[in-house]
Chain A
């Protein structure tokens, strides 16, 4: 078992005093980010990323990934206590979590949510431990056409699995690619889309886009809803925790299904949000207590939370093994790898063993630390939520502005952040999806490079995407996903006509 040995070495890397301290710091910051409106996993990490430029990559990724776990945990707190999902993937948690809190069972709901999250994340990390090295080894055989086909698959799956209009998904995604093209062309050195501006030569940085779209945009939406925090108080003590844990094993089947759904949706770029809804729906249909869902059923908290964490964690698998992130937050982490001078992709498992296994080991440790931190500090974070919005909102905007500036020490980026904020607000209201746009912005250059290299190999003929069984089947899968909305529409029409 090579993996176990590597994992063991990874624990040795992750378990230094400094790294454990960073884990606690990361989790605490992450929960805070998950709890506050306008700050989420993706833009929270984007804001803090510039501060890690001087750290060693392993320590930096440990802290940032712990922020990610913390944000996943934090979303549940606001959903259950305040009926306000702090993150999109915790919307489904409000369905049963908040009714439980209204019945005075907030402690139970929180314990169930946190434990479910922990289980989901743990299953996903075990999967990453054993599957990621295999995927990476397989991907070492990939050439440019295969890579472009995998990118195509990732982006087509947004079109196929997205809920809104496929045309809006394509438009938003292509806008991301267009923004990625701005600046100096990496191959010919020509300036593209800069229109004579030297400031635009840097191109659009995805960190600035993420801070604007998800940060400022979210604040504007929150303001529009005229948000008032009316929360339930929560008390968690050892007795509640132990009593809840005693009840949880009977939901093993629901948890297992949630883990499977989560892992699948996380590896394919479906993401945590659809995974949590799907898991909730499946649990509601299958469970004996299905009719009670929505009225405060503990199973209805476990199902979405477990799936969301499984998805959020397994989104790191394609990022590590292929260099293709499964979620916007994973995309930001991938951007971090590039900034630290690491080349994401299968070679990472060969050349940066210490980094990869340190990260995987820290996922195990980080989730244990996370469970401890959230179970002990819920009242503290609930108190932070009672700070009025008119104090929190300007401070968050200040934090976003500092975050956007520090990316390149450029004032233009702060203005762009505001522009992205307005765009984020409008896109959200009109159902233009932001995740594919951010992913396209992050991956644009790499996708273009592999496309150009593939075209060079074939002298400009697209037939290279079908030149062998491997690239052919990936391309075929991508096209199937791309035309999936059309296929389902035709089938629905036929069923309706019959």
Chain B
């Protein structure tokens, strides 16, 4: 890996990520423990209450997250390694952000049309394919999914206005 230069500059260090993730774990653990305590985590009339087991689970999450946090602090010099480089982060986001938009698209216009548009856009914009070819592949994916699930498996997937307009 080359040092310096725009691509290999660290966007986030491993140490920072360790702390963030350990804090998230601690938060989840505390949430689980708190909700279990609210439900009742002790010994009821007829045995352990609903929160008995999860309460202990939540506390264990908190304890282990705290230890990871402490270890991260003790070895904080080792934590200066790169978690993700800027260029890598851009690559990862370039696939993650469209995927999130795609999921939003499923909700709005149905899974078949959203999938076709998503595959076509991905190929054309990220893969550098010609639009005609991209649209052809996208349409093929959407159509084959439609035929497969609507007719063959008989499993209803989310549909939108396009399918409704066509009478499905």
| A residues with CB within 8 A of B | 50-51, 165, 167-168, 170-171, 174-175, 177-178, 181, 185, 187-188, 190, 192-193, 195, 216, 219-220, 223-224, 226, 388, 390-391, 393-395, 397-398, 401-402, 405-406, 409, 411, 414-415, 418, 421-422, 425-427, 429-430, 432, 448, 451-452, 455-456, 460
The answer to whether A401 touches B103 (Cβ under 8 A) is yes
* Nearest B residue (CB) for A53: B155
B17 within 8 A of A: yes
25 A-B contacts, Cβ less than 8 Å apart? Answer: A165-B68, A168-B68, A170-B60, A171-B64, A174-B61, A175-B28, A178-B29, A178-B57, A181-B53, A192-B35, A192-B51, A193-B32, A224-B84, A390-B122, A390-B123, A391-B129, A393-B122, A394-B118, A398-B118, A402-B111, A409-B156, A411-B106, A427-B21, A430-B17, A452-B52
Chain B contact surface mostly: helix
From known contacts A395-B141, A402-B111, A432-B21, infer whether A223 and B92 are also in contact, taking CB-CB under 8 Å: yes
Taking CB atoms, residues of chain B closer than 8 Å to A193 are 31-32, 35-36, 54
The answer to whether A171 touches B54 (Cβ under 8 A) is no
* Nearest A residue (CB) for B94: A223
Of the candidates A178, A395, A414, the one whose C-beta lies within 8 Å of that of B106 is A414
The CA of A456 and the CA of B44, in the complex, are separated in Å by 11
Taking CB atoms, residues of chain A closer than 8 Å to B43 are 460
The answer to whether A415 touches B122 (Cβ under 8 A) is no
The 3 A-B residue pairs whose C-beta atoms are closest, nearest first, are A390-B127, A394-B122, A171-B64
From known contacts A168-B68, A171-B64, A216-B99, infer whether A456 and B36 are also in contact, taking CB-CB under 8 Å: no
* Nearest B residue (CB) for A176: B57
Taking CB atoms, residues of chain A closer than 8 Å to B54 are 177-178, 181, 192-193
- 1/0 contact string of B44-78 vs chain A (CB within 8 Å): 00011111111001101100110110010000000
A295 → chain B closest CB, angstroms: 25
B109 within 8 A of A: no
Taking CB atoms, residues of chain B closer than 8 Å to A418 are 99-100, 103
* Nearest B residue (CB) for A425: B92
A463 → chain B closest CB, angstroms: 15
Of the candidates B29, B48, B60, B91, the one whose C-beta lies within 8 Å of that of A223 is B91
The CA of A319 and the CA of B80, in the complex, are separated in Å by 42
Taking CB atoms, residues of chain B closer than 8 Å to A190 are 39, 50
A479 → chain B closest CB, angstroms: 15
Of the candidates A51, A167, A219, the one whose C-beta lies within 8 Å of that of B67 is A167
The answer to whether A451 touches B53 (Cβ under 8 A) is yes
Q: Point out which of A405, A406, A451 has the most chain B C-beta atoms below 10 A from its C-beta.
A: A405
B88 within 8 A of A: yes
The answer to whether A219 touches B157 (Cβ under 8 A) is no
The answer to whether B35 touches A224 (Cβ under 8 A) is no
The answer to whether B91 touches A393 (Cβ under 8 A) is no
* Nearest B residue (CB) for A222: B95
Taking CB atoms, residues of chain A closer than 8 Å to B137 are 391
The CA of A185 and the CA of B57, in the complex, are separated in Å by 15
A247 → chain B closest CB, angstroms: 39
* Nearest B residue (CB) for A406: B155
The CA of A406 and the CA of B145, in the complex, are separated in Å by 13
The answer to whether A174 touches B127 (Cβ under 8 A) is no
Q: Which of B82-109 contact A (CB under 8 A)?
A: 83-84, 88, 91-92, 94-96, 99-100, 102-103, 106-107
The answer to whether A398 touches B21 (Cβ under 8 A) is no
The answer to whether B155 touches A391 (Cβ under 8 A) is no
Number of B interface residues, CB 8 Å?
64
The answer to whether A395 touches B119 (Cβ under 8 A) is yes
Taking CB atoms, residues of chain A closer than 8 Å to B157 are 402, 405-406
Taking CB atoms, residues of chain A closer than 8 Å to B92 are 220, 223-224, 425
Taking CB atoms, residues of chain A closer than 8 Å to B60 are 170, 174
The CA of A174 and the CA of B137, in the complex, are separated in Å by 43
For the A-B complex with A171-B22, A181-B53 known, give 14 more contacts whose Cβ atoms are closer than 8 Å. A50-B155, A167-B67, A168-B68, A170-B64, A390-B126, A394-B123, A398-B118, A401-B103, A402-B145, A429-B83, A430-B14, A452-B53, A455-B48, A460-B48
Taking CB atoms, residues of chain A closer than 8 Å to B96 are 220, 421-422
From known contacts A181-B57, A409-B156, infer whether A175 and B25 are also in contact, taking CB-CB under 8 Å: yes
* Nearest B residue (CB) for A448: B53
Taking CB atoms, residues of chain A closer than 8 Å to B39 are 190, 192
The answer to whether B95 touches A452 (Cβ under 8 A) is no
From known contacts A398-B118, A460-B48, infer whether A426 and B141 are also in contact, taking CB-CB under 8 Å: no
Q: Which of B131-160 contact A (CB under 8 A)?
A: 137, 141, 145, 149, 153, 155-158
The answer to whether B123 touches A391 (Cβ under 8 A) is yes
The answer to whether A192 touches B36 (Cβ under 8 A) is yes
The answer to whether B102 touches A401 (Cβ under 8 A) is yes
The CA of A50 and the CA of B148, in the complex, are separated in Å by 14
The CA of A452 and the CA of B56, in the complex, are separated in Å by 13
Q: Which of B17-44 contact A (CB under 8 A)?
A: 17-18, 21-22, 25, 28-29, 31-32, 35-36, 39, 43
A200 → chain B closest CB, angstroms: 11
The answer to whether B95 touches A223 (Cβ under 8 A) is yes
From known contacts A174-B29, A395-B141, infer whether A185 and B17 are also in contact, taking CB-CB under 8 Å: no
The answer to whether B50 touches A224 (Cβ under 8 A) is no
Q: Point out which of A168, A171, A177, A393 has the most chain B C-beta atoms below 10 A from its C-beta.
A: A171
From known contacts A50-B155, A398-B141, A426-B21, infer whether A175 and B61 are also in contact, taking CB-CB under 8 Å: yes
The CA of A483 and the CA of B19, in the complex, are separated in Å by 25
The answer to whether A226 touches B91 (Cβ under 8 A) is yes
The CA of A102 and the CA of B54, in the complex, are separated in Å by 53
